A and B are shown apart, each in its own frame.
Chain A
Amino acid sequence: MFDALTDRLGLAFRRISAKGKLTPADVEAGLREVRLALLEADVHFRVARDFIERVRARAVGEEVLGSLSPGQQVVTIVHEELVRLLGGETRRLTYEPRPPTVVMLVGLQGSGKTTTAMKVALLARRDGHQPLAVAADLHRPAAIEQLEQLGRSQDVPVVRPAERPPAGSDLAAATVAVCRAGIAEAAARGADVVVVDTAGRLQLDQAMLQELDQVRSAIPVHHALLVVDAMTGQEAITVAAAFKERAAVTAVVLTKLDGDARGGAALSMRAATGLPILYCGTGERPQDLEPFHPDRMARRILGMGDVLTLAERAQEQVDRTTQQAVEERMLAGRLTLDDFVAQLRQLRRMGSMESVLGLLPGGRQLVRGGAAELPDDRQLRRMEAIVLSMTPEERRRPEIVDASRRRRIATGSGSTPADVSRLLRGFAQLQGLMRGLGGAGGRRGLAQRFLQGGLPGLPPGALRG
């Protein structure tokens, strides 16, 4: 398994033979690499330094375990310490015995508060509660509409200000009013979790911080969650400390972890404030919220790839029975167009292919190489529309689709004849591969790989509508 830090440490330790004990020199050589890895992940330099001290104290003099190289051993110590610092075990939002539980999202501009507000509402519903959201960002243009539209799509009620506050009026007063209205509405509807979306603000903007004070003195706030972008750099430490102090933040949500940022901000904030990290955002959609796993975050920060999350996601999302049916049809060489699109959708549900692969050590190279191109949601929707516009006969025997049928299908699905051709071509290529493989053994291998997301032999982009 490729593993960036372990490899680097392996290099640093290459000339050291097993001496039975880690010598101070061994440890120093390794720690330099660890420090670089932390800084590369944007961990605050002072936090990195303190962390290294801690590891040094533990590592020097430790017995070299028979099965591990000195490099692996330092990595193990580093990983353990990191997990401890990041908070040990995974935590969850707690709900008040006397409803409603009020959750408020705060943070800098553009960090993901509004999106996360809807994610938290959905999470509460999954936990068996009845959520309601409050649109209390009266500053950013159309922030209210953004939350409202998200609420409509997810069937979560959203309370908004009764009227648009006139220009130049006291926005803080209007903000407090809508928060009060939210609590009242929750009581009226029997909603027991109230999620309050607030405007983005700089941690040094006193007037804006006072607005939060006013909200807090008007309604009870049980959880004030600081929403932080995983791409945040060294300032994460300043921001988190200030929000904790001035806005009584109780925990952190880390967003945009679906990218390639290593997320050192998580460690900086933990070390500087002790605030627990509750959840991570892993995509733009309201369902893209995952529990925070300190052990996985530790691996990510160290550049070690996150195999666990991947395995879990695959398990949660892939619907076993459909899977088997498709596999059987594939084995019989009778894959249908419906299966084809359903399968792509399945893969898509596991997260974007890039994000799935990105979790694997070395997966990023694959993504860059273009081997992992999958249709995105919009393209998938179009592909589904195309298949839905085909007659059952056409779906069974796509080869009968000629130019005039292609035009009809295109019109029916709001796409172009070229889109239709591309979809059918991708499907035909897959079928060709199946046939070419002949025996069931070969097919089984391919079927499995298809089901797991890899499609050898197809040119990049062949699956995209």
Chain B
Amino acid sequence: MGVAAPDPAATGGWRRRLSAQLERATGAFGGQVRSRLLVWQRLDDDFYETLLEILISADTGQPLAEAIVDDLRQRAVRAGANRPEQGLALLRDALLGQMRDRARGLDLDGLPAVVLAVGVNGAGKTTTVAKLAHQLRASGRTPLIAAADTYRAAAIEQLQVWAERAQVPVVAHRPGADPGAVVFDSLAAAQARGCSPVLVDTAGRLHTRQPLMAELAKIVRVIGRQLPGEPREVLIVLDATTGTNAVAQARSFQEWVGITGAVVTKLDGTARAGYVLRVEGELRVPVKLVGVGEGIDDLGPFDPETYLTALLRGPVADPAG
């Protein structure tokens, strides 16, 4: 439903944008984004060693990288493949096969539906909420934003500036107020005004801080008591620059509040967010949206194909080597 699965034409435009971004980032203007795997002549140890490095340097972690390499070796033997292009194609197909059938759309059917953005400090929650509000309004919905980060300095003001740009109403209390109360009032306001969905921006919290995680669980309970079945979307916001700790983050938020999807932000940088393979594979949490900039339009559906192209092309710059 909704944003993450808009009509095919729009998806095509978005994918073109992502590809353009990728070309810019890699300096492959107008040309193909060529994987570094293709420097080799054969599917030999050099090829597999390079693949291992490409994966590890994208933050998949060593164990998964090794598993992927081993798996490809076997596939290549079975398929009788011996050229790098064949290897790359087999690899893409295998990975794509695992990513294809995930439900990446947002469920926004409730009245009002509630979408909660959670994550560690500085991941991009507030910006994502604002971008999402903007898109939903443009597609004819009537979103309302709940300013439930009452902790960080000027978090409310930050959201208010964004909401004005998105032309979406915000419900806010004073700094230091109980976030549960903000959410409660937001839901009441949405019901009274017939707004949906309610997008809740929460304070950044490290996934290891128990009292803060408990506070988040309480917010979820407040929502569920007021609107049974909600929040139907709890999105964890992950920074693309983060390493394997992203998996620990997703796992902890999953345990505390049960997440329904992930948003990967800052993909306009050089990081390739290899941890996505693990968040999806090990935790069964689909990536639903990606952020590719600081502008209000820089949010869109996660596209596994573009993601894999970037992942497998290898690092952009490589100062160490």
Task: Identify the A interface with B (CB < 8 A).
Answer: 36, 39-40, 42, 44-47, 108-112, 139-143, 145-150, 153, 202-204, 229, 231-235, 237-239, 241-242, 256, 258-261, 264-265, 268, 271-272, 284, 352-355, 358, 364, 367, 370, 372-376, 378-379, 461, 464
Question: Nearest residue in A to B239 (C-beta to C-beta)?
Answer: A110
User: 16 other contacts beyond A141-B162, A259-B245, A464-B214, with CB at 8 A cut-off?
Assistant: A40-B244, A109-B266, A148-B154, A149-B154, A232-B241, A233-B59, A233-B275, A237-B320, A238-B319, A239-B241, A265-B243, A268-B320, A352-B211, A355-B208, A374-B211, A461-B214
Contacts of B243 in A (CB 8 A): 42, 231-234, 261, 264-265
* A241 surroundings in chain B (CB, below 8 A): 317, 319
Please determine whether B210 and A261 come into contact, CB atoms closer than 8 angstroms: no
Q: Residue B321 at the A interface, CB < 8 A?
A: yes
Interfacial residues, chain B to chain A (CB-CB below 8 A): 25, 53, 56-59, 61-62, 120-124, 151-155, 157-158, 160-162, 175-176, 206-212, 214-215, 239, 241-246, 248, 266, 268-271, 275, 294, 315-321
The docked-state distance in angstroms from the alpha carbon of A376 to that of B271 is 34
Closest 4 CB pairs of A and B: A233-B243, A110-B122, A42-B243, A376-B211
Contacts A233-B243, A242-B317 given; does A370 touch B269 at CB 8 Å: no
Residues of A within 8 A of B57 (CB): 44-45, 234
Contact yes or no, A234 B209, CB < 8 A: no
Closest to A381 in B: B176
B160 contacts which chain A residues (CB < 8 A)? 142
Cα A241 to Cα B214 with chains together (Å)? 39
Offer 15 A-B interface pairs, CB within 8 angstroms, sorted by A. Answer: A42-B243, A110-B122, A110-B124, A141-B157, A145-B154, A146-B155, A231-B243, A233-B241, A233-B246, A239-B270, A259-B207, A272-B319, A373-B210, A373-B214, A376-B212
A231-B242, A234-B243 as given contacts; A354 in contact with B209, CB under 8 Å: yes
Q: Which residues of A contact B271 (CB under 8 A)?
A: 233-235
A229 to B120: give the CA distance in the assembly, Å: 11
Contact partners of A242 in chain B: CB under 8 A: 317, 319
Bound CA span A234–B268, Å: 16
Given the complex of chains A and B, what is the CA–CA distance between A201 and B248 in angstroms?
Answer: 26
- Give the CA-CA distance A354 to B214 in the complex, in Å: 13
**Inter-chain contact B59/A354, CB cutoff 8 Å:** no
Shortest beta-carbon distance from B37 to chain A in Å: 16
Q: Which residues of A contact B242 (CB under 8 A)?
A: 229, 231-233
Residues of chain A within 8 A of B157, CB atoms compared:
141-142, 145-146
Point out the residues of chain A lying under 8 angstroms from B25, CB to CB: 204
Closest A residue to B204 using CB positions: A284
Inter-chain contact A44/B320, CB cutoff 8 Å? yes
Shortest Cβ gap from A189 to chain B (Å): 23
* Minimum C-beta distance from B38 to chain A (A): 20
Select one of A149, A233, A259 contacting B244, CB under 8 A.
A233
**Residue of A whose beta carbon sits closest to that of B57:** A234
B155, B208, B210, B246: the one contacting A260 at CB < 8 Å is B208
User: Which residue of chain B is the closest to A50 with respect to CB atoms?
Assistant: B320
Interfacial chain A residues near B121, Cβ < 8 Å: 110, 112, 256, 284
Query: Could you say which residues of chain B place their CB within 8 Å of the CB of A140?
Result: 158, 294
Q: Kindly provide the distance from the CB of A222 to the nearest chain B CB, expressed in whole angstroms.
A: 25
> Which chain B positions have C-beta within 8 A of A139?
294
Q: Is the CB of A370 within 8 A of B210?
A: yes
> When A44-B57, A141-B158 are in contact, do A354 and B320 touch as well, CB less than 8 Å?
no
* A358 & B319 in contact (Cβ 8 Å cutoff): no
Q: Note all chain B residues with C-beta closer than 8 A to A256.
A: 120-122, 206
CA A378 to CA B218, docked complex, whole Å:
14
Contact B154 A42 (CB under 8 A): no
List, in ascending order, chain A residues with CB within 8 A of B317's CB. Answer: 238, 241-242
Task: Give Cα A231–Cα B245 distance, bound, in whole angstroms.
Answer: 6
What CA separation (Å) do A36 and B56 show in the bound complex? 12
**In the bound complex, CA of A461 to CA of B211 (Å):** 9
A372–B318 alpha-carbon span in the complex (Å):
43
Cβ of B275: which chain A residues have Cβ within 8 Å of it?
233
The answer for the CA separation of A271 and B319 in the assembled complex, in Å, is 11
- Provide the bound-state CA to CA distance between A353 and B243, in Å: 25
Measured CA separation A151–B160 after assembly (Å): 21
Q: Is the CB of B208 within 8 A of A367?
A: yes
A238–B58 contact, CB under 8 A? no
Tell me the bound Cα distance from A357 to B158 in angstroms: 34
Contacts of A39 in B (CB 8 A): 56, 61-62
Asked if residues B58 and A110 are in contact (CB atoms below 8 Å), the reply is no
A40 interface neighbour in B62, B241, B318, B320, Cβ under 8 Å: B62
Q: How far is the CA of A42 from the CA of B241 in the complex (A)?
A: 12
In whole angstroms, what is the CA distance A147 to B162 when docked? 18
Q: Is the CB of B206 within 8 A of A146?
A: no
- Minimum CB–CB distance from A291 to chain B (whole Å) comes to 21
Our pick among B215, B270, B294, B318 for the contact of A109 (Cβ within 8 Å) is B294
CB distance from A322 to the nearest CB of B (A): 23
Q: Which residues of B contact A202 (CB under 8 A)?
A: 266, 268-270
B321 contacts which of A46, A110, A376 (Cβ < 8 Å)? A46
Chain A residues with CB under 8 Å of B122's CB are 109-112, 229, 256
Candidates B53, B123, B151, B207; contact of A110 at CB < 8 Å: B123
Assess the A238–B316 pair: CB atoms within 8 A: yes
Q: A112-B122, A259-B245, A265-B243 are in contact. Are A234 and B58 (CB under 8 A)?
A: yes
Closest chain B CB from A160 CB (angstroms): 12
A237, B318: Cα distance in complex, Å = 8
> Is A284 a contact of B61 with CB atoms below 8 Å?
no
Whose C-beta in chain B lies nearest to the C-beta of A146? Answer: B154
Which residues of chain A come closer than 8 Å to B162, judged between CB atoms? 141
**In whole angstroms, what is the CA distance A264 to B270 when docked?**
18
How many Å lie between the Cα of A268 and that of B214 in the bound state?
34
Q: Cβ of B158: which chain A residues have Cβ within 8 Å of it?
A: 140-143, 145-146
Q: Which residue of A lies closest to B268 (CB)?
A: A202
Cβ contact within 8 Å between A36 and B269:
no
Within the complex, what minimum Cβ distance (angstroms) separates B221 from chain A? 15
CB neighbours of B214 from chain A (8 A): 373, 461, 464
Task: List, in ascending order, chain A residues with CB within 8 A of B175's CB.
Answer: 149
A150-B153 CB under 8 A given contacts A142-B158, A261-B243? yes
CA distance A261 to B206 in the complex (A): 10
Closest-CB distance, B88 to chain A (whole angstroms):
20
Distance in angstroms between the alpha carbons of A264 and B57 in the assembled complex: 13
Which B-chain residue is minimally distant from A370 (CB atoms)?
Answer: B210
Distance to closest chain A CB from B18 (angstroms): 16
- B266 CB to nearest chain A CB (Å): 6
Distance, CA A381 to CA B106, complexed state (A): 38
Give chain A nearest CB distance to B111 CB in angstroms.
30
B210:A354 contact, CB within 8 angstroms: yes
Taking each of B242, B243, B269, B319, which has the highest tally of chain A beta carbons within 10 Å of its own beta carbon?
B243
